[in-house]
Amino acid sequence: MTDSPAATFPTGTVLGYPRIGPNRELKKAIEAFWAGRSSADEVEATAADLRRRTRARLAELGLPTDVPAIPSAFSFYDQVLDAAAVVGAIPARFADLVDERGGVDLAGYSTVARGRGDDLPLEMTKWFDTNYHYLVPEIGPSTTFRYASDRPVREFAEGLADGVQTRPVVVGPVTFLALAKATEDAPEGFSPIDRLPDLVPVYAELLRDLAAAGATWVQLDEPALVSDSIAVPTEQLLAAVVETYRALATELARPERPAILVAAPYGDLGAALPVLASTDVEAVAIDAVKGQVPSEPVPGLESKTLVVGVVDGHNIWRADLDAKLAVLERAEVIGAGAVAVGTSTNLFHVPHDVDVETQLDPTLRSWLAFADQKVREVVTLAEGITEGREAIHEQLLEASDAVRSRAGAPGVVRPEVRDRLAALDADAFRRGDFAARKAAQAERLALPPLPTTTIGSFPQTPDIRKARAAFGKGELTAEQYEDEMKAEIRRVVELQERIGLDVLVHGEPERNDMVQYFAENLDGFAVTQHGWVQSYGSRCTRPSILWGDVSRPAPITVAWSQYAQQQTSKWMKGMLTGPVTILAWSFVRDDQPLGDTANQVALALRDEIADLEAAGIAIIQVDEPAIRELLPLRAEDHAAYLDWSVAAFRLATSGVREDTQVHTHLCYSEFGEIMGAIDGLDADVTSIEAARSKMEILTDIAKAGYPRAVGPGVYDIHSPRVPSQDEVRELLSEAVNTIAVDQLWVNPDCGLKTRRYEEVTPSLEHIIGATQAVRATL
Ligand code: GLN
Ligand code: ZN
C-alpha cells in the first residue's frame, strides 16, 4: 500500500455531507446577508458554527477524527464557483470585485453567483444526472489563473484546531475545465480544456499550501470522467487526466503535497479507471451504485486505496448491508492496495436525518437512510472490512430485516396495478395517424393561425401562498381554501381574456410544486416534513418519496380544470406533470427498473386524462421539463432510457380521442441531441424554451423535418425583463421564416409562477400585439 504513515486512509468515509444545515441555517443566514439584514462577519460565524457542528456530528456517528474520514466540503453557494474563486477565474465583467490577490470576498462571490444590473451571473446548469445546479465557469484565452483564495486551507485549519483531521474536497482541474464554457471573446475552436497547463500549477500551489497546513489527504472530485455528455471528447479528457495527475502527483511529491484521492461519482469510470490507476495518485473513489467494481485486477491499483462507493449517496433507501459487504469483499479480490468503503456520491443530494420525520409512517421510515443514517452504514461496513463479517453480524441482520420488510409490505407490490400494466398491448402506447388528428383538432378547436397560450402557471402571489399555508395549518377550511383558489382562477381567466390569449390556462394556484402536488394525490408516494436538499445556491427542494406501486385513488385536477373551463368560452388547457418529471424530482424506489415505475405513474395519469376529456377539456398538456435531465451520462445507455421514458409519456397520453389535442412542455434548449425522443413523444404541440437562444432550435426542428406543432418560447421568464413588442415580433418573424406557419404556436419559455404581475401582464400584452402584427403579414 502506501509508504508513509501520513498517507493512511480511513477504512470508511463519505464523499461529502449536506451543507445547508439541518434547519437550513445556511440558507437563512446567506439570504439575510443578501437582503442587507446581516453582515459578512455574521454569515461567516454562522457558517463556521455549522461546519463545527457537522464535524462533531460526523464524529458522533462514528467517523474517526485522527485520520481524514471527515470531509471538509463546505460551500456558501456552489462547489464549482468555489473552485473558480480559488483559482481566480472570475469573469472580466466582475473585475472591480476582485482584490489584488485575484480573490473575491463574500459579497463579490455572491454577486458573481447572482448577477447585478446588466452583469449577468454565471450561467447555471444541471450537475450530471442530478437535480443540483452548478455555476458554469467562463474560461477564455486570457483568463488569468492564480492562487487567489486559500479558503480550503483555512477551513482545514479550522477543523484541525478543533482536533479533527479533515480531508479538503475541491472540484478537480479536469472537471473544472470540462464543465466550463468559453468566454465570448474566445476564438473559434477554443476549448477551456486547452488552458489545463496554466491551471494545474495553481492546483499545485493549493496542494502545497494544504500540506503545509498539515493536511494529509485531499479529495479532488472528477465526475466529468464518468460522462460522455460533456463537451470534451473522451480521448482528450483521458489525456488531460494523465497530464494533470503527472503534474500533481508525480512531479509534486509528498510530503510537499497531501496524498490525493480522486473521486468519480455518478457513474462508471469505464476507460478512465485504468488511466487513473496508472497515475501516482494514492486513492481512487468509484461509484459502485451507478457503476461497477471491476471484475479483474487493474494495473496500478495494487499501490492505491480503492474507495468503493457502495452506499448510495443520491437516494434515500437503507442499504442491504450484506449485499454491500459482498461487493466490498469482491473489491478486495481484485488486488487493490487497500479497500475502503465510501458513499457513491457526496451526501448533499439527500436530507440530513430521517429520525426527525416523525409524521412519516414508522414502517416506511424504517426503510430509509438519510445522510446521518448513511454515515452509520459506512461506519458499520468499515468495521466489517477490518473486523470481519462476524463483528457486524447483528447490523447485517437488522438491515436484511428492513429490506425484507420493505419487499413484503402492503402497497409495495399491488397485484391490481401490476396486472393492469401486464395486460396492456402495443395499442395502449400509440395514437392514430397525425394527419387525421390534425384535421380533427383543427375542426374542433377552430384556432387562428399562430395560436397564443401560456405554459400553465401564473404568478404565485403572497396571497396564494398565505392561503395555502393557512389551509395547511387548519386556519382555513377546505371550502374556504377552495373558494380562494376559485377566485384566483377567475382572476387569471379574466386577465387572459382581456389580454386576448387564444388558449387559456387556470394558472395552477392550487399547486405548491408541480411534482409534489401529484405525489400528494397519488397512492405509493409519501412526503417529508424536513427532507430539504439543495437545488442551487440557497434554494432547496423537498422531493417526495415514491415507495410503492402507484395508482390514482380519485381524480386530481379535473374539478379545477372544469371550473376554469366554465368561466370562459375559449379553450381551457388541462395541465398535468409527466411521468418522467415526476420520477426525476422525487426519491424513487430502487427495487425495480425505472421504466416499470414510470409506467405505473403513466397509467395513473392516463386515467386523469380520460376524466379531463370526459369533462369536456379538449386540450391537455403533460409537462416533461426533466426529460433531458435523466438522460444517462454514458451514450451507450441513451437508447434504453429514451425507450422507456418515451413509452411512459405515450402510455399516459395515447388514450385520448383523435380530436383531443395533447401538448407537452420541455424547458431547455439543446434539442438536437434528443430530437428523436421529442418526435417519439408524438405530442400534437410541444412548447419549448427558446427565447435566450434566439429560436436556434427551430433550425434543428426544420432540419429534422419534424411534422407536428411547436411553440418556441418568445419570452424569457427567467429574467425580470419585459420584452418589447418589437423584440417579440422579430422572434416570430424569424420563426415563420423557418418553419411552416401551421406548425407554430406562440407562448412564453416556461411557467410564470416565479414572476410578478407587473412583468407578466405587459409581457403577455406585447406577445399578443406582436402576434397580431405577424398574422397581418401572412
Ligand atoms: N406547467 C408548469 C408551469 O407552468 C410547467 C413548469 C416547468 O416547466 N418547470 O409552472
Ligand atoms: Zn418549463
Residue 1 has pLDDT above 50, yes or no: no
- Cβ of 437 closer than 6 Å to ligand 1, yes or no, is no
Q: For residue range 323-363, what is the model confidence (pLDDT) as tens digits?
A: 999 999 999 999 899 999 999 999 999 999 999 999 999 99
Give the distance, in angstroms, between the CA of residue 742 and the centroid of all CA atoms in the same chain: 35
Mean pLDDT of 212-228: 97
Residue 3 has pLDDT above 60, yes or no: no
Residue 2 has pLDDT above 50, yes or no: no
Residue 104 has pLDDT above 80, yes or no: yes
Query: Pairing state of beta strands 259-264 and 533-536?
Result: unpaired
- Cβ of 575 closer than 6 Å to ligand 1, yes or no, is yes
Q: For residue range 539-578, what is the model confidence (pLDDT) as tens digits?
A: 999 999 999 999 999 999 999 999 999 999 999 999 999 9
What sections of 617-756 are H helices per DSSP? Answer: 638-653, 675-681, 696-704, 725-738
- Cβ of 457 closer than 6 Å to ligand 1, yes or no, is yes
3-state secondary structure of 267: coil
Residue 242 has pLDDT above 60, yes or no: yes
- Cβ of 620 closer than 6 Å to ligand 1, yes or no, is no
The amino acid that residue 546 corresponds to is: L
- Cβ of 753 closer than 6 Å to ligand 1, yes or no, is yes
**Cα 354 to averaged position of ligand 1 atoms, centre (Å):** 30
Per DSSP, what are the bridge partners of residue 457?
507
**Cα 569 to averaged position of ligand 1 atoms, centre (Å):** 24
Residue 696 has pLDDT above 90, yes or no: no
- Cβ of 623 closer than 6 Å to ligand 1, yes or no, is yes
Are the C-beta atoms of 547 and 525 separated by less than 8 Å?
A: yes
Alpha-carbon span 166 to 66, nearest angstrom: 8
Q: For residue range 29-55, what is the model confidence (pLDDT) as tens digits?
A: 999 999 999 999 999 999 999 999 999
Alpha-carbon span 335 to 372, nearest angstrom: 31
Alpha-carbon span 182 to 189, nearest angstrom: 10
Residue 442 has pLDDT above 80, yes or no: yes
- How does DSSP classify residue 388? -
**Per-residue pLDDT at 704:** 87
Mean pLDDT of 228-253: 95
Residue of the CA atom closest to atom 5 of ligand 1: 751
Alpha-carbon span 202 to 214, nearest angstrom: 19
**Per-residue pLDDT at 428:** 98
Q: For residue range 198-211, what is the model confidence (pLDDT) as tens digits?
A: 999 999 999 999 99
- Cβ of 584 closer than 6 Å to ligand 1, yes or no, is no
Alpha-carbon span 364 to 354, nearest angstrom: 11
**Per-residue pLDDT at 6:** 45
Mean pLDDT of 290-311: 96
**Cα 672 to averaged position of ligand 2 atoms, centre (Å):** 18
Q: Which ligand is nearest to the CA of 459?
A: 1
Alpha-carbon span 187 to 4, nearest angstrom: 47
Radius of gyration of the chain (CA): 27
Alpha-carbon span 392 to 110, nearest angstrom: 46
- Cβ of 667 closer than 6 Å to ligand 1, yes or no, is yes
- Cβ of 169 closer than 6 Å to ligand 1, yes or no, is no
Q: For the residues of 309-326, what is the DSSP string, one character each?
A: EEE-SSS-BPP-HHHHHH
- Cβ of 666 closer than 6 Å to ligand 1, yes or no, is no
**Cα 769 to averaged position of ligand 2 atoms, centre (Å):** 23
What number of other Cβ atoms are within 10 A of residue 445's Cβ?
Answer: 16
How high is the mean pLDDT of the chain? 95
Residue of the CA atom closest to atom 6 of ligand 1: 751
Ligand 1 nearest-atom number relative to CA 625? 8
Helix (H) or strand (E) holding 261: strand 259-264
**Per-residue pLDDT at 695:** 79
Ligand 1 nearest-atom number relative to CA 665? 8
Are the C-beta atoms of 577 and 585 separated by less than 8 Å?
A: no
Out of 505, 508, 576, give the residue to mutate to test ligand 1, the one with the largest number of ligand atoms within 8 Å of its CB: 508
* Residues annotated as catalytic (active site), given as ranges: 718
**Cα 569 to averaged position of ligand 2 atoms, centre (Å):** 26
Q: What is the pTM of this model?
A: 0.95
- Report the alpha-carbon angle 103-109-110, nearest 5: 165
Cα atoms in the Cβ-side hemisphere of radius 13 Å centred on 66: 1
**Per-residue pLDDT at 117:** 83
**Cα 750 to averaged position of ligand 1 atoms, centre (Å):** 6
**Per-residue pLDDT at 667:** 84
Q: Which ligand is nearest to the CA of 711?
A: 2
Alpha-carbon span 649 to 672, nearest angstrom: 20
What separation in angstroms does the CA of 558 have from each of 575, 607, 724? 9, 11, 36
* pLDDT band, very low/low/confident/very high, at 669 (cuts 50, 70, 90): low
Residue of the CA atom closest to atom 1 of ligand 1: 456
**Cα 750 to averaged position of ligand 2 atoms, centre (Å):** 4
Q: What percent of the chain has pLDDT over 90?
A: 91
Per DSSP, what are the bridge partners of residue 169?
219
**Per-residue pLDDT at 670:** 67
Residue of the CA atom closest to atom 3 of ligand 1: 751
Q: For residue range 699-735, what is the model confidence (pLDDT) as tens digits?
A: 888 888 999 999 999 998 988 889 999 999 999 999 9
Q: What percent of the chain has pLDDT over 70?
A: 99
* pLDDT band, very low/low/confident/very high, at 125 (cuts 50, 70, 90): confident
Q: Which ligand is nearest to the CA of 713?
A: 2
Out of 126, 453, 457, give the residue to mutate to test ligand 1, the one with the largest number of ligand atoms within 8 Å of its CB: 457
* pLDDT band, very low/low/confident/very high, at 5 (cuts 50, 70, 90): very low
